Structure 1
Amino acid sequence: MASSQKTQHFAPVDGGWGWMIVIACFFVTVCTRAVTRCISVFFVEFQSHFTEDYTRTAWIHSIVDSATMLCAPLGSFIGNRLSCRVVIIMGGVFASTGLILSSFATSLEYLYLTLGILTGLGFALCYTPAVAMVGKYFYRRKALAYGIAMSGSGIGTFILAPVVQFLIDQYSWRGALLILGGIVFNLCVCGALMRPITVTKDFIKSPELSEEELICKAQEKDSEEVSKFNKCSCCPSRTEYSFLLMPDFLLLAVSFLFLAYGCSPPFVYLVPYAISVGINHQEATFLMSILGIINIIGNITFGWLTDRRFLKKFRIFCYLLAVGMDGLSCLIIPVLRTFSLLVPFSVTFGYFDGAYVALMPVITADVVGVTQLSSALGVVYFLHAIPYLVSPPIAGLLVDSTGSYTAAFLISGASMIFSSSLLLFGNLVKKLRKKQEGPLPAESNPKLQIWNNSTVPYIVAGETDQKAV
């Protein structure tokens, strides 16, 4: 087990133990996001066993997804005060217990509590701190590191979807949930690998500091301000959440709301939709596997590409492209009624889903900075909670009332396209205003800008001037 003492560095190490953090985060995404997606494989089994309609059955998936995101700030809060290691191990115990208890379910309400709330809470305590740790260990290779770490969602879906179907066929859904509980318990191992890291205060006195040292200087100053405020019991988290006043973050947050509403129903209803148009269970489940493996390619290729020097300043537009393409894919799915036609959908949707998932923490870090990334991600995932909660049941209600999946998929696609368009419009307006305001004052360095948000000074370096690695 890694040492419990914090490792000190001048700047994010961009390697070394950081790759172990990436591997640990990879398996965290396998055991959280991939398992959540594979709950859709249980959809038909739950509906048949408990003789319930689409709407009530869909609440299971929406509750676990919503609980994961709703409790994300709790994971950040505990992780900031104890350690990521402690909170992830704690979450692993909760999530595993929830899945094991779910194997004894006697009603949907029982599953709402165990599979939905308890497992979702465990996932929340693991997911946000693990994602934030990657950002602390990487700077130059941040997008690539996140691409590899977040690909766990795709590869986990690719492997687990057929495995879960096999376990259901062999041991029934109860036995499958029991085995999943044992798999998810490995989150505790992932937590043990999360070696804490901090920035050393022993700076080399030099008239000219490198960009990494300047960034670390800003991070240390931020930490000092946080310490001062933590001493005041009346405002312990004032600096920790000061990014909430940033217009760029507020626009990003609104965009995430519409994205979260649109991205959930396709994962919940792809398998039931495929079965409804005459595709057998194995082929329908294989569509999820295809989506998962292509998701990996999207994670890694977009992560690698957006780390290149010529694309770093266009990260936000790469993200917008990915979200928009996912939306377009959802709009055309109602006309795809055979396995051979649904395979291209799984490829397209899976690729661009992997792309924007990998870029989401990156663009969040670009907006708020590394020192507030854990808290910001907690808020970002919290914003996903309500859309994740209501979108699958609303889609199920539309299916029950219309007898078709068309309206559900069309609304999902439109929501994702609106999310992309809103953020695109906001960024275009921002660029136009910068042109109208003219160049920066002569005394300011365009490659290195020091600004103040609330009481915390930040140093923002021009990433596009760094050599691609």
Structure 2
Amino acid sequence: MYASREDIGYDFGDDSKAGSKPIKPNPNIDGGWAWMIVFSSFLVHILIMGSQMALGILNMEWLEEFNQSRGLTAWVSSLSMGITLIVGPFIGLFITMCGCRKTAIIGGILNALGWILSAYASNVHYLFLTFGVTAGIGSGMVYLPAVVMVGQYFQKRRALAQGLSTTGTGFGAFLMTALLKYLCREFGWRNAMFIQGAICLNLCVCGALMRPLSPKDVNEKYAVRRNSEDNRAKALSHSAETIKSNGVLSEEPEKKEVIKNEEVLDDIKHIEIGGNSRIGKSMYGLRILKTVSQLTVTVRKGFGIWYSSYFGAASLFTNRVFVAFIIWALFAYSSFVIPFIHLPEIVKQYDLSSQNNIFPLTSIIAIVHIFGKVILGIISDLPCISTWNVFLMANFTLVTCILTLPLMQTYISLAVVCALIGFSSGYFSLMPVVTEDLVGTKHLANAYGIIICANGISALLGPPFAGWIYDITHKYDFSFYICGSLYMVGILFLFIQPYIGKKQSQEKSTEEAQV
């Protein structure tokens, strides 16, 4: 879905012959340059997600500078976080047409531009556009390719590679919190954002490292291994796939469209040759016509793949278990983001700034978050333990910490709760695994894009809601209580998922029996 012709060089021809050829080991898959991809993704997580987790420092500066309500000011950080995730499904269109490398480089430039322009902000609404929208879209254009490229380069060690790359979020939150605090203290928040924008230009370097796999590499990785079957079984399987495609474009019309487009391009080439022999002046116009035709073919094909992946895959939304998972995602991410945005302000209210300056609470969450991802991943890989149960327990622990955090008014107690928040939020590394268990490998990319989008909506609305509640009550307590309660509602949908799945499987078996 997120792979373009540049990235993987897809061959839409008949792959029935691929099974007869042995798959040779490729040094670029699960090794070699693949680890450079992991390193690139690790840096992206530091610069993108780590910076967003440290926005609480800038949020305090914006409150003092613009003297606006906490609810309005919190929208700046929420827009940046939310848009980064919400635009995920739409960034897939750019990846399909341009490839991961070009998309990431353009996103790096856009993200740096958002930071730099924000240094000249005259009001909060200016930050909405420059930092919230511009930097947010740029972040999304880098973040998604970083995740996708790791999946393309790894097959056997995919879980390990994704785990190592996503630990950059924890490292980034720790490093960027210290960096932004130092820059704001020494140079002021405007110069700090300008310097951070210059640092974010390194995202273009990370994008340049995302070298696309060659067609040969992809064929070795994605070659279809067919068992010896009779021709009748193959024909029946092919017919069933064509008729019942669950909204995904069938291969036959796609082949015809590709052939038709290639014929158009060939005609243009012949016209161009004839023009060279007869009228030299028409060469320039023919080349423009050829370029426009090729661009039209690329855009139509990319949009078709993107549209069919999200809006045509109706089976994802008819899966009631997956719909319950989406409802959970709508409430989950805000409870993790709110402490990062509002903890510095809470510490200031409790007169704990001197202790927090020595070791910030947000840094505690970030550091323990790294270990949480690794440890929860190791526990989930144990054969005697269910990944789903680990996922549920981590969610339940996190919502308990969110509900009890307002009761803690000393630095030690807040540090303990923040450590538990960081550890339990390590379940983010389990989300791709749980999603795959729910929808299967075939729909994993589409489903995970939808889950990320739901998390983005949660991150977008959560912190402003907490700030708005503070403006009314002059306390953050109710913000955590309300968001924690909504999060608990989402967890209840996780608890009833096994029942929903069992009922849905029974209905399917009944329908198959009737047929």
Settle same-fold status: TM greater than 0.5: yes
Superposed, which structure 2 residues align to 1:189-200 within 5 Å?
A: 189-197=205-213, 198-200=218-220
The CA distance in 1 between the partners of 2:8 and 2:439, in whole Å, is 24
Q: Residue in 1 aligned with 2:461?
A: 390
Q: Is the 8 A contact 2:30 2:155 kept in 1?
A: yes
Q: Which of 368, 372, 375 is the aligned partner of 1:298? A: 372
Determine helix, strand or coil for the equivalent of 1:240: helix
Q: Is the 8 A contact 1:315 1:363 kept in 2?
A: yes
Q: Which of 434, 441, 455 is the aligned partner of 1:363? A: 434
Determine helix, strand or coil for the equivalent of 1:194: coil
Determine helix, strand or coil for the equivalent of 2:54: helix
Q: Residue in 2 aligned with 1:339?
A: 411
Q: Which of 84, 93, 107 is the aligned partner of 1:77? A: 93
Superposed, which structure 2 residues align to 1:82-121 within 5 Å?
A: 82-121=98-137
Summarize the Cα distance change of 1:92–1:244 in structure 2 as closer, same or farther, 3 Å threshold.
Answer: farther
Q: Residue in 2 aligned with 1:378?
A: 449
RMSD of Structure 2 on Structure 1 (CA): 3.2
Q: Which of 466, 472, 480 is the aligned partner of 1:409? A: 480
Summarize the Cα distance change of 1:83–1:410 in structure 2 as closer, same or farther, 3 Å threshold.
Answer: same
Amino acid at match of 1:270: L
The CA distance in 2 between the partners of 1:405 and 1:5, in whole Å, is 47
Deviation at 1:153, TM superposition (A): 0.8
The CA distance in 1 between the partners of 2:406 and 2:67, in whole Å, is 26
Q: Structure 1: which 5+ runs fail to align?
A: 209-219, 442-469
Superposed, which structure 2 residues align to 1:34-73 within 5 Å?
A: 34-73=50-89
Determine helix, strand or coil for the equivalent of 2:120: coil
Summarize the Cα distance change of 1:251–1:138 in structure 2 as closer, same or farther, 3 Å threshold.
Answer: farther
Q: Is the 8 A contact 2:38 2:165 kept in 1?
A: yes
Q: Residue in 2 aligned with 1:124?
A: 140
Q: Which of 284, 301, 309 is the aligned partner of 1:240? A: 309
The CA distance in 1 between the partners of 2:384 and 2:156, in whole Å, is 14
Deviations along 1:23-55, one digit per CA (max 9) or x if unpaired, are 221111111111111111111111111112211
Match status 1:265 vs 2:334: no
Q: Residue in 1 aligned with 2:423?
A: 351
Q: Is the 8 A contact 1:249 1:368 kept in 2?
A: yes
The CA distance in 2 between the partners of 1:433 and 1:386, in whole Å, is 28
The CA distance in 1 between the partners of 2:485 and 2:25, in whole Å, is 42
- TM-score, length of structure 1 as denominator length: 0.81
The CA distance in 2 between the partners of 1:226 and 1:182, in whole Å, is 45
Summarize the Cα distance change of 1:96–1:235 in structure 2 as closer, same or farther, 3 Å threshold.
Answer: closer
Q: Residue in 2 aligned with 1:213?
A: none
Determine helix, strand or coil for the equivalent of 2:360: helix
Deviations along 1:112-152, one digit per CA (max 9) or x if unpaired, are 11111100000111112221222333344333322211111
Amino acid at match of 1:146: Q
The CA distance in 2 between the partners of 1:192 and 1:330, in whole Å, is 40
Deviation at 1:366, TM superposition (A): 3.7
Summarize the Cα distance change of 1:372–1:16 in structure 2 as closer, same or farther, 3 Å threshold.
Answer: farther
> Mean Cα displacement is larger for which, 371-380 or 267-276?
371-380
Summarize the Cα distance change of 1:243–1:204 in structure 2 as closer, same or farther, 3 Å threshold.
Answer: closer
Q: Residue in 2 aligned with 1:144?
A: 160
Q: Is the 8 A contact 1:93 1:185 kept in 2?
A: yes
Summarize the Cα distance change of 1:45–1:437 in structure 2 as closer, same or farther, 3 Å threshold.
Answer: closer
- TM-score, length of structure 2 as denominator length: 0.74
The CA distance in 2 between the partners of 1:7 and 1:281, in whole Å, is 56
Deviation at 1:267, TM superposition (A): 1.7
Summarize the Cα distance change of 1:379–1:202 in structure 2 as closer, same or farther, 3 Å threshold.
Answer: closer
Deviation at 1:385, TM superposition (A): 3.2
Q: Is the 8 A contact 1:135 1:370 kept in 2?
A: no
Q: Is the 8 A contact 1:225 1:239 kept in 2?
A: no
Q: Residue in 1 aligned with 2:356?
A: 283
Summarize the Cα distance change of 1:166–1:366 in structure 2 as closer, same or farther, 3 Å threshold.
Answer: same
Q: Residue in 2 aligned with 1:274?
A: 347
Amino acid at match of 2:87: C
Q: Residue in 2 aligned with 1:460?
A: none
Q: Is the 8 A contact 1:77 1:375 kept in 2?
A: no
Determine helix, strand or coil for the equivalent of 1:384: helix
Q: Is the 8 A contact 1:263 1:416 kept in 2?
A: no
Q: Structure 2: which 5+ runs fail to align?
A: 1-5, 11-22, 230-240, 259-299
Tell me which protein shows more helix as a share of its residues: 2
Identity among equivalent pairs (%)? 29
Summarize the Cα distance change of 1:202–1:107 in structure 2 as closer, same or farther, 3 Å threshold.
Answer: closer
Q: Is the 8 A contact 1:364 1:376 kept in 2?
A: yes
Determine helix, strand or coil for the equivalent of 1:30: helix
Q: Is the 8 A contact 2:95 2:103 kept in 1?
A: yes
Deviations along 1:356-409, one digit per CA (max 9) or x if unpaired, are 221223323444455554443332222233332222111111111111111101
Determine helix, strand or coil for the equivalent of 1:106: coil
Deviations along 1:171-202, one digit per CA (max 9) or x if unpaired, are 11011111111221111111122233434476
Deviation at 1:104, TM superposition (A): 1.3
Query: Larger Cα Rg: Structure 1 or Structure 2?
Result: 2
Summarize the Cα distance change of 1:427–1:134 in structure 2 as closer, same or farther, 3 Å threshold.
Answer: farther
